[in-house]
């Protein structure tokens, strides 16, 4: 028997398929949260329309056939099934078995409630048990200590810092490199691997 | 009358010069180099696949049409042979930072200072012409010759992505390196 009967369900959230048509409006609305945009990536904060969002999504995960190089999920709250944000795992080169993670919760009110950490735990289990990856990586900005703490809680280790890579609000900020190896994850997640 | 910018030739180093990529003339050399698996495995993490000249040529043409590409062919000053390439990829204009990639496809020029000279030209172009603030790169831990060359050009180690790459049945780190404008200026006076 497989130990995980509900691979994509956590304690507070589940990872659901993202429907480029149906979910575009919600995702576009999140792009009006400028704080999120500046925590999310290095692109200048810019609002997106639903049509642009739909196109982005299709490009990322493939329009008709899913792409092996990207697993993109909508994070939904278990209570009420409300969409909370996005999480994705990019595997540009399978031979090295490294996955690149991006995560964002759209609404400020949902931050700091444990949704992100739970979504990350579910994604890591998916990455290591289902996709059989060897490691996962992410980068985070020096001004985002809440995210760094959450990633550390999920098991990530700081592997370096690209000094002053970012310039925002007239200051320079480091880009922090983090990574998590399969063995490190297995050591603290034996329950996810044992057969019932 | 001379301009007040000085007579600095941005494209000319001590051993090499930077030139525009020429799809007609250069694609064959790139295709030839891709048949050297050691070169390919030092260059990047893509599976080493030999490539034909035609798609390389098409890709070069596309870049040339875009008009904002900062990729150069590296030619020897001695006899103008094309020996490799160096390119800057602007990761963010607002943060004024770029990644740099370099490869010498012609093995006869490895370990002789040609790569370091080309990298110095790329950095001068990055800081004096593109007015960037920072340049980053990544190298495989098994490529000690390259790491030494980058350090000589002024890069510092900033991190290690542990066991990122898997090759020949072993796991290898990927080393992150970077150079800030101030560091480059201090070393260039």
On whether residue A1 sits in a domain, the answer given is no
Name the token pair of B183. 């560091």
Indicate the residue of B94, B134, B163 with minimum beta-carbon distance to A164. B134
For an interface test with A, which of B41, B156, B162 has the most A Cβ atoms less than 10 Å from its Cβ?
A: B162
Cα(B118)–Cα(B5) distance, rounded to whole angstroms? 22
Chain B nearest C-alpha distance from A26 (Å): 27
Task: Give the global pTM.
Answer: 0.89
The pLDDT of residue A189 = 87
Per DSSP, the residues of A34-58 read HHHHHHH-SSPP----HHHHHHHHH
Q: Domain containing A139: what range?
A: 13-192
Over residues B5-18, mean pLDDT: 87
Please, are residues A150 and A140 in contact by the beta-carbon 8 Å criterion?
A: no
On whether residue A6 sits in a domain, the answer given is no
CATH number for the B16-188 domain, one of 3.40.50.300, 3.10.20.30, 3.40.50.2300, 3.40.630.30? 3.40.630.30
The pLDDT of residue A4 = 62
Cα(B42)–Cα(B145) distance, rounded to whole angstroms? 10
The pLDDT of residue A62 = 85
State the alpha helices, DSSP H only, in chain B: 23-33, 37-43, 53-66, 114-124, 144-153, 181-188
Indicate the residue of A43, A96, A165 with minimum beta-carbon distance to B97. A165
A195 pLDDT band (50/70/90 cuts)? very low
Instruction: Quote the distance between the C-alpha of residue A68 and its chain's center.
Output: 16
Query: Does residue A196 carry a pLDDT above 50?
Result: no
Listed by start position, the domains of chain B span 16-188
How far, in Å, are A31, A51, B173 from residue A63 at the CA level?
22, 14, 35
Q: Which of A25, A146, A181, A148 is nearest to B171 (CA)?
A: A181
Cα(B131)–Cα(B113) distance, rounded to whole angstroms? 25
């Amino acid at each position: 028997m497989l130990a995980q009967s509900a691979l994509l369900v956590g304690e507070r959230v589940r990872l659901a398929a993202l429907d480029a048509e149906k979910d575009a409006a919600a995702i576009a609305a999140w792009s009006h949260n400028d704080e999120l945009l500046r925590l999310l990536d290095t692109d200048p904060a810019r609002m997106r329309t639903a049509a642009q969002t739909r196109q982005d999504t299709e490009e990322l995960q493939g329009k008709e056939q899913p792409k092996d190089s990207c697993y993109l999920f909508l994070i939904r709250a278990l209570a009420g099934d409300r969409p909370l944000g996005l999480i994705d795992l990019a595997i540009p080169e399978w031979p090295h078995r490294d996955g690149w993670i991006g995560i964002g919760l759209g609404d400020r009110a949902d931050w700091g409630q444990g949704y992100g950490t739970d979504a990350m735990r579910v994604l890591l289990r998916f990455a290591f048990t289902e996709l059989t990856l060897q490691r996962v990586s992410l980068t985070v900005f020096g001004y985002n200590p809440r995210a760094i703490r959450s990633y550390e809680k999920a098991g990530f280790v700081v592997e370096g810092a690209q000094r002053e890579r970012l310039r925002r609000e007239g200051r320079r900020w480091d880009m922090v490199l983090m990574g998590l190896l399969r063995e490190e994850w297995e050591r603290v997640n034996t329950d996810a691997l044992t057969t019932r | 009358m001379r301009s007040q910018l000085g007579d600095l030739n941005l494209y000319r180093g001590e051993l090499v010069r930077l030139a525009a990529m020429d799809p007609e003339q250069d694609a064959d050399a790139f295709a030839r180099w891709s048949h050297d698996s050691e070169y390919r495995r030092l260059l990047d993490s893509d599976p080493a696949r030999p490539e034909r000249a035609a798609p390389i040529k098409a890709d070069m043409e596309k870049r040339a049409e875009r008009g904002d590409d900062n990729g150069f062919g590296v030619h020897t000053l001695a006899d103008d042979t094309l020996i490799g390439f160096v390119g800057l990829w602007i990761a963010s204009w607002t943060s004024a930072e770029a990644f740099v990639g370099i490869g010498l496809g012609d093995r006869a020029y490895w370990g002789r200072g040609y790569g370091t000279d080309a990298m110095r030209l790329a950095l001068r172009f990055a800081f004096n012409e593109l007015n960037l603030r920072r340049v980053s790169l990544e190298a495989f831990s098994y490529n000690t010759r390259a790491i030494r060359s980058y350090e000589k050009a002024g890069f510092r180690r900033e991190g290690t992505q542990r066991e990122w790459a898997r090759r020949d049945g072993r796991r290898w780190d990927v080393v992150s390196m970077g150079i800030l404008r101030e560091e480059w200026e201090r070393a260039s006076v």
